[in-house]
Amino acid sequence: MAITVVGSVAFDTVETPAGRIDRCLAGAATYFSLAASYFTDVRVIAVVGEDFTSKEEAVFAARGIDTRGIERAPGKSFFWQGSYLENLNEAKTLQTDLNVFASFEPKIPEVYRDSEFLFLANIDPVLQKRVRDAMPDVKLVGGDTMNYWINDHRENLLKTLKGVDILLINDTETKLLAGTRNPVKAAKDVLALGPKSLVVKHGEYGATAFFGPSSFAGLDAHHPFRAPALPLAEVIDPTGAGDSFAGGFFGYIASQKELTPQVFKKAMFYGGVMGSFTVERFGTQRLQQLTRDEIEERFAIFRELTHLDGKN
């Protein structure tokens, strides 16, 4: 079943201890859709400038991703430059040029309207809500956000969260959104804001899914679930790991008939798997050329890493 994702399609310049890449294809919607494309049909809503050429278009096309919702506008695409030289776990932003993104007005192609799944990647919560409201019939809505929206656009974000079923954010964002440092209390407080499930991403330590008092996907407050991240010998570029997690997670759910506890848990694993691939190369390089066999192989490694009945 198809997922529509709204978010940024951008160019990044990134420095990490492993090297540097200039103006590579990036953006939350790009990472998300590439990761999800290994599981299900994906449709993107975004805006790009004249620097988005047939070369970038071909990356989406090669993965069968529907780009009819990517608007071409005069000017340049969203550009971000960051450095992980000081801290591999957190980027230092050196430059952000919104460019055509500054006046982004998401337009939903008619052919996207039968999507059963919607993912609101990290953009202005006002735009997230507009897309969500325009697609009232979707079965499941996932969402992401970041510190900037939590701090400076809280009221708008709170309105958006009421329409999100599964919120995927990291530890810092969870604590900031809840206003408490206790991770379990923070999760509980965030769940009171609307989402039926909160997936907290822990970077190298994996991710934990929390649920409210009411059952969702057959799981509830008594059944948090934790999926690992792979201990990696070398992280080349951490950019996009979280968006890739969301893509693998949501993509797997969309590929299944029903959202059972087992499906939710496996989705957490696939999220971690896709995130672990992304950081192995700069930009979206690794995500562009995976096979389903490689994905299943890594899923098995994640399982063995955490399960008492592993092969060894």
Using CB under 8 A as the criterion, which residues of the chain lie in contact with its own copies when the complex forms?
88, 181-185, 187-188, 202, 204-206, 208, 210, 218-219, 223-228, 231-235, 261-262, 265-266, 269, 303-310, 312
Select 163 or 203, whichever has its Cβ closest to its own copies.
203
Give the C-alpha separation, 116 to 43, whole Å: 11
Beta strand 197-201 pairing with 78-83: unpaired
Give the separation between CA 310 and CA 48, rounded to whole angstroms: 46
Closest distance of CB 162 from its own copies, Å:
25
- In whole angstroms, the minimum distance from the beta carbon of 147 to its own copies comes to 20
Angle at 266 between CA 263 and CA 270, to 5 degrees: 130
Query: Residue 307 CB, nearest distance to its own copies (Å)?
Result: 6
Instruction: Report, in Å, the least distance between residue 64 CB and its own copies.
Output: 28
Least distance in Å: CB of 311 to its own copies?
Answer: 9
Alpha carbons 70 and 109: distance in angstroms, whole number = 9
Pick between residue 106 and residue 195 the one whose CB is nearest to its own copies. Answer: 195
Question: Radius of gyration over alpha carbons of the chain, in Å?
Answer: 18
- Token output for 235: 């992280």
Distance of CA 220 to the CA centre of its chain: 23
Give the nearer residue to its own copies in terms of CB position, either 80 or 211.
211
d(CA 275, CA 232): 11
Query: How many CB atoms are located within 10 Å of the residue 162 CB?
Result: 11
110: left (phi over 0), alpha (psi -120 to 50) or beta: alpha
- The nearest distance, CB 116 to its own copies, in angstroms, is 24
Q: Which is nearer to its own copies, 85 or 94 (CB)?
A: 85
Residue with Cβ nearer its own copies (79 or 269): 269
Nearer to its own copies, 99 or 276 (CB): 276
Angle, alpha carbons 116-112-249 (nearest 5°): 45
263: Cβ contacts below 8 Å, ≥ 6 apart:
217, 252, 253, 256
Tally Cβ neighbours within 10 Å of residue 2.
18
Chain CA centroid to CA 277, Å: 14
Is the Cα torsion angle 66, 68, 71, 76 positive or negative in sign? Answer: positive
Nearer to its own copies, 130 or 226 (CB): 226
- Closest contact distance (angstroms) between CB of 42 and its own copies is 25
Closer to its own copies by Cβ: residue 159 or 226:
226
What tokens does 205 get?
């330590």
**Smallest separation (angstroms) from its own copies to the CB of 160:** 26
Compute the residue count for the chain: 312
